[in-house]
Amino acid sequence: MDRLAEEVAPRSQANGATPAAKAAQRPYETRRTFAIISHPDAGKTTLTEKLLLSGGAIEMAGAVRSKGNGRRAKSDWMDIEKNRGISVTSSVMTFEKEGINFNLLDTPGHSDFSEDTYRTLTAVDSAIMVIDAAKGIEAQTRKLFEICRLRDIPIITFVNKVDREGRDPFELLDEIEEQLALSVAPMIWPVGQGGLFKGCYDLVKNDFLFAGLDKTEHYAGGLDDPALQAALGADAYAGFRDAAELASEGYADFDPAAYRQGHLTPVVFGSALQNFAVDRLMDFIAEHAPGPRPQPSDKGPVDPSSDKVSGFVFKVQANMDPKHRDRVAFVRFCSGHFKRGMKLDHVRSGKPIAVSNPIYFVAQERALTEEAYAGDVIGIPNHGTLQVGDTLTEGETFRFTGLPAFAPEVLRRVRLEDSMKMKQMRRGLEDLAQEGLVQVFRPTIGSDWIVGVVGPLQLDVLASRISGEYKADVSFEPVQFNVARWIRSDNEPAMKEFIRQNTMNVVRDRDGWPVYLCRDDWDLRYIMSRNKDIVFDATREIVGQQAAGK
């Protein structure tokens, strides 16, 4: 991280530190771990690129393109992401700017990968919600917002693409208030849209960022600045001034406490592609976004100020470097001061793990890190020892909680094109199931493999990765089942008898949990009515390798 920090020239502070960094007394208080969430094509990946550019982590942002051989997004590193111009897996990017350490987690926008996104959101302290100025709040945006609300994650809203034709800004603010039940506090206001876009006005700092050839040009004299009036022209200035005053007076003032409690969302209008208001967005995160928060565990919240190191695995990624067939566990630290070479207790196995080669990321690029604090996200290369949900501690035995697994919505049988590649297919399915890309089920009778996903795009990614990374070609066939539920019971004899009577319908997931498969919701309701001692779960909590309560 030091190398990246040296490349960043201080902007606003004489000593290169933001007010937030100056005020921080302990290293973990300078950490800002946040995610970016959005509906597909709202500009999330482009915004990620520009934040990295603003933070000095990269020298040139890659335009997101679906065709051709142009630049590709830094945060999209898989072949399928590069080819389709979409994000299908979470990326972790770490950089430092003006004394603040940022851990940016870019999440898949596509609803088929919502489980990966949900797990990623367990590792962050705040989020940026990206909205397309022409479309407003879309279905996936609303779902992801609800996840953030359940976890009390503060959200700042970035209304993107204001340099294109879009909806009225007041209409968008009202939609956020009404549909998300949030107070809104406009912070950066657009001056014109589409072909009439002139720039953005900072309602807090009272200065104007001009959309000229020099993107750094601004007017700092407030609404009455004669130079601003001259630059905009009489008609544009009059309309802008009325709108800016109405935005300031008609909506809530920014309240840091209300924002951190999740009751209010600051709203920044800008353009990720044209790099408008991105620097201001980053400044806001540095100054107002919360640092590490207490994390839930089975023995109570773990405070970031605790001296002992602790963290949890929220993601596992196989084959990030195809040359090495590596597996990297992404760990969010929750307390303590980690140093390279430390031995940490792997709570699930009860064995110590020496962390000799911890790494941090800028997408596929990686470097060794010597230390980490609460809020930091590092990667630990391993050969399958670490799984999603695992807890690492410095001599303690608690487990972090809150990582979910969801029942799949689409079930398919895996068909191997070349029977000689069975070993490769099995390795690929097991590896990618541990990643969380898909869920894999083995029937009690027979040798078929059944995979469960949220949507068909996951099947495309699964086939692509097994072919490219494991050299086995697979396809998928329909099965007679469409509904899956984990089953459990406090009545052990009843559980055994239920499984015995429903052998053809009960499969095991990768962790050995029994799962009941049926044709539809009607069948599920019927079987539930006949088996009152059996609990059918649409979700389960991942705690190490076991679900809570097992």
Give the pLDDT of residue 325: 66
How far apart CA 293 and CA 403 sit, in angstroms, is 16
Q: What is the per-residue pLDDT across 197-230, written as a single tens digit (0 to 9) for each?
A: 888 889 998 888 776 545 555 666 778 878 778 8
Give the pLDDT of residue 217: 57
CATH, range 404-543? 3.30.70.3280
Structural contact between residues 440 and 510, judged by C-beta atoms closer than 8 angstroms: yes
Range with the poorest average pLDDT among 80-89, 139-148, 255-264, 371-380: 80-89
Structure tokens at 455: 């949507």
| pLDDT score of 472 more than 70 | yes
Range with the poorest average pLDDT among 39-43, 108-112, 418-422, 449-453: 108-112
How far apart CA 384 and CA 434 sit, in angstroms, is 9
Percent of the chain topping pLDDT 70: 84
| pLDDT score of 196 more than 90 | no
Give the pLDDT of residue 24: 61
| pLDDT score of 233 more than 70 | yes
Confidence class for position 85, pLDDT limits 50, 70, 90: very low
How far apart CA 284 and CA 140 sit, in angstroms, is 25
How far apart CA 321 and CA 309 sit, in angstroms, is 28
Q: What is the location of CATH 3.40.50.300 in the chain? A: 2-288, 310-401
Burial string for 384-420 (b: 16+ CB within 10 Å, else e) reads eebbbbbbbbbebeebbbbbebebbebbbbbebeeee
- Alpha-carbon dihedral sign for residues 192, 194, 199, 205: positive
Residue 528: Cβ within 10 Å count: 15
Q: What is the location of CATH 3.30.70.3280 in the chain? A: 404-543
Give the pLDDT of residue 218: 61
- Classified by CATH at the fold level, domain 2-288 comes out as Rossmann fold (3.40.50)
How far apart CA 311 and CA 324 sit, in angstroms, is 26
Give the pLDDT of residue 40: 81
Structure tokens at 525: 């309701």
Is the CATH number of domain 310-401 3.40.50.300? yes
| pLDDT score of 458 more than 80 | yes
What average pLDDT does the segment 322-342 reach?
Answer: 88
Range with the poorest average pLDDT among 170-184, 346-360, 445-459, 509-523: 445-459
What average pLDDT does the segment 298-314 reach?
Answer: 96
| pLDDT score of 292 more than 60 | yes
| pLDDT score of 152 more than 60 | yes
For the chain, give the mean pLDDT: 84
Angle at the Cα of 378 from the Cα atoms of 388 and 312, rounded to 5 degrees: 35
Confidence class for position 14, pLDDT limits 50, 70, 90: very low
How far apart CA 239 and CA 229 sit, in angstroms, is 11
| pLDDT score of 67 more than 60 | no
Give the pLDDT of residue 415: 96
Give the pLDDT of residue 34: 96
How far apart CA 136 and CA 108 sit, in angstroms, is 19
